[in-house]
A and B are shown apart, each in its own frame.
Chain A
Amino acid sequence: MIAFERVTKRFGPWAAVDAVSFTVEEGELCALIGPSGSGKSTALKMINRLIVPDAGTIRVAGEDIARLRPEDLRRRMGYVIQSVGLFPHWTVERNIATVPDLLGWPQARVRDRVTELLELLKLDPRRFRGAFPHQLSGGQQQRVGVARALAAEPRILLMDEPFSALDPITREALQAELATIHRETRTTIVFVTHDMDEALKLANRIAVLDQGRLVQCAPPLEILTRPADDFVRDLVGREEWGLKVLAVETVGQRVRPDGEAAGVPLPSAMPLRRALSEMVARGTDRLPVVDDQGRPAGVLHLADLVRP
């Protein structure tokens, strides 16, 4: 869906992004992660041509974006930034309707879409439609920011540290919301963050950048279990490494299909980390598991959690 082919961007003598190549498949949620100055935000902004690369090609759905008019390209993609950037003189409704208005959607369709999005982001349309941004909390503003980015049903959503400025509780709620939206819409999402836990929690693929170079681009489990070098190992953090591995795997991946156990069953989609927590809380080393339809799927053993 998005392909970087030896993309380079220099600011003066210094290469912010240095011959980076990687691919984001359709429907993936790809996290770009790295410390400040690693070029992750520059890489993101090149996808919608807010920054133009000095060398290399970026293709979106097979098309070289250098051939497209930047405004047309951007209207096809959602864009969410850390500072939100809602228009303070417009209501929530008009803010969300920005891109549909630019695309000339009929009024009735825009109105329906705004209602739909407010409900999707858990904002009561009756209360929030006519509100102005300054009347909203930081978390509510970013919910509107996400709704605005999704308004014109883009196939790609670009997010530049969207939740970094929020308090931990609000951040977790919005991360959960984003995971749901991603699961339901299968929008391709590129997500810049400096928080490895956030990347591990949300992403299907993590691209690690250091000083403009791509160090590793792999699924979360591979980043954890087979880090390319010490830089990645440090970024993941050696502390609680085992728990992080458990967090990216699910109960379904370690369940034994036979046997019986007592107690309230765990869903097979639950992360192993939470399953471990349940075992500790209930004082047992085995728990029953059910699948997505609630049918018995076997038993999870504590011993299987520690097997490599």
Chain B
Amino acid sequence: MIRNRVLLVLAATAVAAALALPFLSFAPNRLLSGRGIALSAVLDLPWGVALLPGVVLLAAPFLRPSKTVLAATVTAAILFAAGLVGLAGQHAAQLAATAAPAARTSFGAGFWIMETAALLAALDGVRRLGLSPPLRIAVGAAALALVAVQVAAGHLDQLSILKEYANQRDVFVAAVVRHGVIVAASLVPTLLVGVPLGVLAQRSRAVGGIVFPVLNVVQTIPSIALFGLLLAPLSALAGALPQLGISGVGLAPAVIALTLYSLLPIVRNIAAGLDGVPDSVRQAARGMGMTPRQIFLRAEVPLALPVFLSGLRITLVQAVGLAAVAALIGAGGLGAIMFQGLFANALDLVLLGAVPVILFAVVVDAALKLLVALVARGAA
């Protein structure tokens, strides 16, 4: 009797990937394509034990999804995901002991599919359990911590992505900082312009009628095209006023483009949040003698805050992703590492850029969801 179809599909996919696709890929150096190594070839002790939670995942689709079963599924999925990484790390270390220093062990297609299936199984279980946002975030943090501990202990040092990291440590740290700077630098003008614009757009039909169509059009321009469009006017500006210290490439166009993209979700959610304030509340507030300013600060702002923070979350996650593309116009950041890897055909370098971008987005997303939950609870 099948009780959980989602889990069944995930388990079947993972089993198929384990049997048919290489778990690891081993290459003499980072430019050559590697030879595949099956999961069966690396399943030895002690790390083979780490895959035992997989048994729970195979059984779970057939069990009645009680709270206990769901909690066990989530726990097993997280342990299994971390176990896969640990197993890969262990085998990479074994291979490195006998191979040349330039040799590379990287994750194979089988690993990625099993890892993804395990994380989706955890997500499915968390959703079915109906956990509160803080608990969801705790589960996510636990999953991350299980891998982070292995990285910190040096257990994964012989995997190619960490070898790339070791080679590029200074560049990597600088890129992470730069990525954060791009996102933060675009957030400031976004809030300075977006918040007043959102308030105005909600209060005046005329303003909203202009602001929303314009921002919608901006949102549909592909990011590369927008960078291109900004190139000419910014170069001209830089030529006319060199003392501004900006140019057609680099940080300035990246921040401007990100701001333009970020305005729509911010403005829209500010307006939607204010629209959601019941008219009866405004009417009562006015009738009791609150000034317009008091009505805004004491009633409208706190009631619109959760919707606004949801908009901020969308904006920040979007900005983290777009900032990666901004590397194309010389803004730097993690995107620069990704493109360097793409142009050099070095997949591990691409991962070294891409994985932190994903983590960055996930952490920002989780942090703001937590904030929304806390604010909503305060308002409940």
Contacts and interface: CB of A to CB of B under 8 A. Distances in A.
Instruction: For the complex of A and B, list the 10 residue pairs with the smallest distance between their C-beta atoms, beginning with the closest.
Output: A85-B284, A74-B289, A83-B280, A85-B280, A79-B287, A75-B289, A89-B379, A71-B289, A89-B302, A85-B281
Given A48-B287, A74-B287, A87-B299, 6 more contacts: A50-B286, A70-B289, A75-B289, A81-B283, A102-B290, A102-B294
Interface string B263-292: 000000000000000111111111111110
11 contacts: A79-B284, A81-B284, A85-B278, A85-B281, A85-B282, A85-B283, A85-B287, A88-B303, A89-B380, A98-B288, A102-B290
With a 10 A CB-CB cut-off, give which of A72, A86, A98, A134 has the most chain B CB atoms. Answer: A98
Task: Bin chain B's interface residue count.
Answer: 20 to 34
Interface string A64-83: 00000011111100010101
Contacts of B283: 50, 81, 83, 85
Nearest to B302: A89
Interface residues of A, number: 26
B289 A102 contact: yes
A99 to B, nearest CB: 5
A84 interface: yes
B305 to A, nearest CB: 9
B287 A81 contact: yes
A88 B378 CA distance: 11
Main secondary structure of the interface of B (DSSP, over half): helix
Interface in A141-176: 145, 148-149, 158
Nearest to A101: B298
B289 A85 contact: no
Contact of B288 (A99, A132, A134): A99
A149 B284 CA distance: 10
A84 B280 contact: yes
A50 B266 CA distance: 32
Interface in B282-323: 282-291, 294, 298-299, 302-303
A158 B288 CA distance: 11
Contacts of A87: 281, 284-285, 298-299
Interface centre among A79, A84, A87, A99 (most CB of B within 10 A): A87
A102 B284 contact: no
A66 to B, nearest CB: 16
Contact of A72 (B280, B282, B289, B298): B289
B380 A134 contact: yes
Contacts of B379: 88-89
Interface centre among B284, B285, B289, B290 (most CB of A within 10 A): B289
B297 to A, nearest CB: 12
B154 to A, nearest CB: 50
B303 A71 contact: no
A149 B286 CA distance: 13
B289 A88 contact: no
A132 B284 contact: no
